[in-house]
Structure 1
Amino acid sequence: MRSTEGCGPAPGSRPDAAVIWRNRALRLLDHVPLPIAVVEFGGRTLIVNRAMAAEFGLLPGQFRDRKILEFFTLRDSDTLQALAEAVRMHRRSQYPARVSWIPARGDERHGEMTVDLVADTPEQTPALLLSLRTVEAPRVVPSPGPRAEVSPVEGRILAAAARGATTAQIAREIGLGPDGVNYHLARLSRRWRVPNRTALVARAYATGVLAADTWPPEPASD
């Protein structure tokens, strides 16, 4: 009689129940939009879902047996110590850890990795169930540059333009002729390299020539 050892289950035999439930669990994880991984306590990757693999432009199987810290930089130095203490004391709490990583496309990202210790018995060395949540990096607001140099007349013209005054109205307010107003506006447009009056007003606010949060508009005080 020929041996069938190593050839898989015999025809008509039922798959092991544990295998069935494992495959169902894997299919379920692949439908979860949250990036999830299961790793050994030492860091060797056992399972990742599609969302986790997609962060790095990989397939889930390409993670298997690789160290999870090949993909993530741990920003909390105390997390590993806390996990080691939890294993020693047989605790099963959640542990958040700040991480960063380089995705398949784009700049470095930041997030929080929630770590759950999972095991069948308290005495068993647990595996780590990791779930990743992206956190937007704090936006760096550039410091304002030096205020643009304008004459007092130009500042008043820009303030009047910001109020929506016409050339004739600006001329009466400033005490110039319309040609004089247009001369100053054209000169500012060339200096700041902007195409129209709307852009002039925007540039005046951006460079601090006009006072912010003030209505009606007026030149910023020195």
Structure 2
Amino acid sequence: MVLFDRIPMPVAVCDPYGDVRLVNAAFAMEWGTTAGRLKGRAILDLFVPVDAAQVDRIAQAQKARRRSRYTVAVAWRGGDGARRRGELIVDTVSETANRVPDLLVTVRVLDTAVVPDAKPSAPVHPQEARILALLAAGATTARTARETGLTTDGVTYHLRQLSRRWGASNRTELVARAYAEGVLVAGVWPPRLASSEPVDGASEERAGQGAGG
């Protein structure tokens, strides 16, 4: 542990799902907190991937039990409040060939204070808007994935991106913000996108209720 803390670059050990198990002193310092407060946090809640495909490659490597090294371009806000751009160097490691690999994550900072803060009124991607509408209709992650043609991990990724962009701490806040930003039409049920028809799933559900009545 002493040697781990002496590594000058921020380093974290994560479980196969990306939850932090252990960080060194440099990692904790980057976030302006203690190592204990970072334990259990999702690494993708701390760092926002620039390209989701890079994360998908790591997930595929874990499923195949491959031990290799991957690089993920990310952006984040450090403990000092400055915006940073850099990359995560991710090594998939395990003690045995049959075990799903853990993640050894090293942070490399490329630039500081060069990534502009996302504006609250930034346009929402059509895929994000549809996810928000389904969320407002009470859809689960699994149902949202089916309706949008994404994987459940893909839906979760988009929700994390929106949460980071809008500073929302949960899904209820995301839905509230979607109405406030005009992504969803206020006072309408089922939830309706501002530029389209009602959400398919919600529309079908309403039609089914009408037929049953």
Task: Name the TM-score, length of structure 2 as normaliser.
Answer: 0.51
Q: What corresponds to 1:35 in structure 2? A: 10
Q: In the alignment, does 2:73 pair up with 1:98?
A: yes
- CA deviation after TM superposition for structure 1 residue 41, in Å: 1.4
Structure 2 stretches lacking a partner, 5+ long: 116-213
Q: Residue by residue, what CA displacement relative to the aligned partner does 1:27-60 show, whole Å, maximum 9, x if unpaired?
A: 1111111000001111211000010010111011
Q: In the alignment, does 2:98 pair up with 1:123?
A: yes
Among candidates 123, 129, 133, match of residue 108 of structure 2: 133
- CA deviation after TM superposition for structure 1 residue 139, in Å: 6.9
Q: What corresponds to 1:63 in structure 2? A: 38
Q: What CA distance in whole angstroms lies between the structure 1 residues aligned with 2:83 and 2:55?
A: 22
Q: Residue by residue, what CA displacement relative to the aligned partner does 1:86-136 show, whole Å, maximum 9, x if unpaired?
A: 123222110000011101114210101000001011110111000011112
Runs ≥4 in structure 1, deviation > 3 angstroms?
A: 137-140
Which residue identity is paired with 2:69? Answer: Q
Larger Rg: 1
**Equivalent residues, number:** 115
Q: What CA distance in whole angstroms lies between the structure 1 residues aligned with 2:6 and 2:82?
A: 26
Q: What CA distance in whole angstroms lies between the structure 2 residues aligned with 1:137 and 1:37?
A: 20
Q: In the alignment, does 2:61 pair up with 1:86?
A: yes
Higher mean C-alpha displacement, 49-58 vs 75-84: 75-84
Task: Name the TM-score, length of structure 1 as normaliser.
Answer: 0.49
- CA deviation after TM superposition for structure 1 residue 85, in Å: 1.6
Structure 1 stretches lacking a partner, 5+ long: 1-25, 141-222
- Percent identity between matched residues is 35
Alignment of 1:189-208 (within 5 A): none
Structure ranking higher in helix proportion:
2
Q: What CA distance in whole angstroms lies between the structure 2 residues aligned with 1:139 and 1:58?
A: 23
CA RMSD of aligned residues (A): 1.9
Alignment of 1:138-177 (within 5 A): none
Q: In the alignment, does 2:86 pair up with 1:111?
A: yes
